[in-house]
Amino acid sequence: MYVSHLSLTDFRSYHQVDLTFEPGITAFVGPNGQGKTNLVEAIGYVSTFTSHRVPSDAPLVRAGAAAAVVRSRIVRAQDDGSERALVLDIQLGSGRHNRVKLNGSPSRARDVMGALRSVLFAPEDLSLVKGDPDGRRKFVDALCVQITPRLAGVFSEYDRVVRQRTALLKSAAGFRGSRSTLDLSTLDVWDAKLAELAARVIIARHAVVAALTPYVAESYREVSDDQGAAELTYRSSIDDEVQPDPGPRPFEAVEADVLAALARVRRKELERGLCLVGPHRDDLVLTLGGLPAKGYASHGESWSFALALRLASYQLLSNGPVDGTVNGEADLWVADSGPDGEPVLMLDDVFAELDAKRRRRLATMVAPARQVFVTAAVPGDVPEQLAGARFDVLAAEVSRAG
C-alpha cells in the first residue's frame, strides 16, 4: 500500500496544501519549525487516528479555525496484481467527534482504521528506551491495534473500567465508617469486569511482544553493526517479578490470575484508593547485553534500540506472524502479509541524530520499502541511498524540488 495524495485544510500550520506522491522515497526538506513534521503527522493520523506528538486533537487544528480536514488517497495492491484506491476524509475539531468518510460515504473511525498502516520513527521515540513505562505500553498497544483494529475497543473499555474502579476505591478509602459496614459487592462486579478485559489485553500484548522480539534482535544487530544483543520481556503487575514468556495461555487461566492478584492486593487498594494491578501498571522491559537499556545504554545505543523497535514493527506488520487466541478463537493476527501488507514507513528528522555508519546502515535497510517518507533540515542529511522525490518546505508552503 502507499499514499498517492494528501490534502490538508487548517491542519497544524497549513491553511491548505495538496500533494501527490509516488511509491518509493519522498523527502520533505526545510529548516526546523517550517511544517515538515506536520506532514508526516497527518499521514500517521490517517493510519491511527492519533498523533504521535500530542494526546488530543485540539492542537492539530490551525489557530483560529473551527476544524481541520485531512484527505488522503490510499492505493492498495490486490492479489491479482491490480490496484484499488480508497479515499479517506477526516474532519477533526476541538471537543467533538471526528467525521469520517470513506470513498464519499459517511463511516466510523473504528470501521476504517487499518485502511492505511504505517510506522513512524520520530525523535520522541527515544523515550521508549529512556522514558516511563506508559510510553512503552502505548507502543505495544498501538502495534496491537495496527495488527487487529478492533482491539482499540478493548483497550478503550479497559481504560474506562480502570477509571470507574479507581473512583470506587477512592470513595472507599475516604469512608469514615467501619470498613466492615462498607458494601463492597459493587467492587466485586468491577473486579470481574476488569479481569475479563485485562486478560484480553495481556494475551494480545504477550502475543505481539513474542512475535516482535526476534525482529528487534535482528534490527538492532543491523543498525548497530552487531554491537550487542537487544531483548524484550513483558513484565506483568500480576507477577512479583519479571518472568520468562510463558507462551500462549488459555483465556480462563489469565483471567483467574488477574482475579487472584486483585484479591491479594485488595486491602492495599482500599487503603490507598488506587488500582494496583492490571495491564495499566505493566511494562515492556528492554535489555541490551543482559543489562537494562534504561540507565545503562549510551545515547547512541538508545537511539539504535528505539530505531530497532520501529523497524521491527515495520517487519512484523509486513511479514507476521502473530497469533493470540481468546476463548479458542483467534483474536490477534497480521491481517495481510501479502502484497498489501507492507505499511508506509516514515522517518522524521532521524538521520541528523545518527553517526555516518548508522546513517548508511539505516538507509540501506529502508530503501527497498514500498513507500518511505523522510524529513530533513538540509538535503545533505538525506543519505544518497534514499535519493528520490523531494519537496521543499518553508513557512508551511510546500513545493516540488527539481
Instruction: Tell me the pLDDT tens digit for each residue of 248-283.
Output: 678 888 899 999 999 999 989 988 889 999 999 999
Domain boundaries, the chain: 1-117+345-402, 123-342
251: three-class secondary structure by DSSP:
helix
pLDDT at 329: 46
Give the C-alpha separation, 3 to 23, whole Å. 8
Among candidate residues 275, 258, 278, the one with its CA nearest the CA of residue 172:
275
Assigned fold of 1-117+345-402: Rossmann fold (3.40.50)
Distance CA 249, CA 238 (A): 15
User: Quick check: 184 pLDDT over 50?
Assistant: yes
Answer whether 293's CB lies under 8 Å from 285's CB. Answer: no
The DSSP letter of residue 149 is: T
Q: What was the pLDDT predicted at 55?
A: 87
Q: Which residue, among 70, 100, 102, 99, has the nearest Cα to 86 in the 3D structure?
A: 102
Cis amide bond preceding 149, omega within 30: no
Question: Which helix (H) or strand (E) covers residue 73, if one does?
Answer: strand 68-77
Does 123-342 match 1-117+345-402 at the fold level?
Answer: no
pLDDT at res. 330: 46
243 contacts 209 by C-beta, under 8 angstroms: no
The dihedral formed by the CA atoms of 317, 129, 138 and 11, expressed in degrees to the nearest 10: -80
Cα separation of 308 and 222, whole Å?
9
Chain-centroid distance of CA 323 in Å reads 18
Distances (CA, A) of 58 to 41, 97, 119, 348: 14, 11, 23, 22
Question: Is residue 225 helix, strand or coil?
Answer: coil
**pTM for this predicted structure:** 0.89
**pLDDT confidence bin for 114, thresholds 50/70/90:** confident
The yes-or-no verdict on residue 117 having pLDDT over 80 is: yes
Q: Please, which pLDDT band fits residue 328 given cuts at 50, 70 and 90? A: very low
Strand partners for 216: none
Q: Tell me: the pLDDT tens digits for 203-221?
A: 999 889 999 999 999 999 9
Cβ–Cβ < 8 Å for 211, 147:
no
By CB atoms closer than 10 A (0-12, 13-18, 19+), residue 176 is exposed
Q: What is the mean pLDDT of residues 345-373?
A: 88
The sheet with strand 283-288 has its strands ordered as 230-235, 283-288, 291-292
User: What is the residue-wise DSSP string for 74-140?
Assistant: EEEE-TTS-EEEEEEEEEEETTEEEEEEETTEEE-HHHHTTSS-EEEE-GGGGHHHHS-HHHHHHHH
Q: Which CATH architecture has domain 123-342?
A: Up-down Bundle (1.20)
What the block records as the C-alpha cell of 355 is 553517526
Kindly indicate the confidence band of residue 110, based on its pLDDT and cuts at 50, 70 and 90: confident
The answer to whether 21 and 3 have CB atoms below 8 angstroms apart is yes
- Report phi then psi at 124, rounded to 5: -60, -20
Beta bridge partners of 141: none
Residue 184 three-state SS: coil
Cβ atoms of 315 and 219 closer than 8 Å: yes
The CA distances from residue 260 to 87, 265, 267, 387, in Å, are 48, 9, 13, 57
Contact 37/350 with Cβ under 8 angstroms?
no
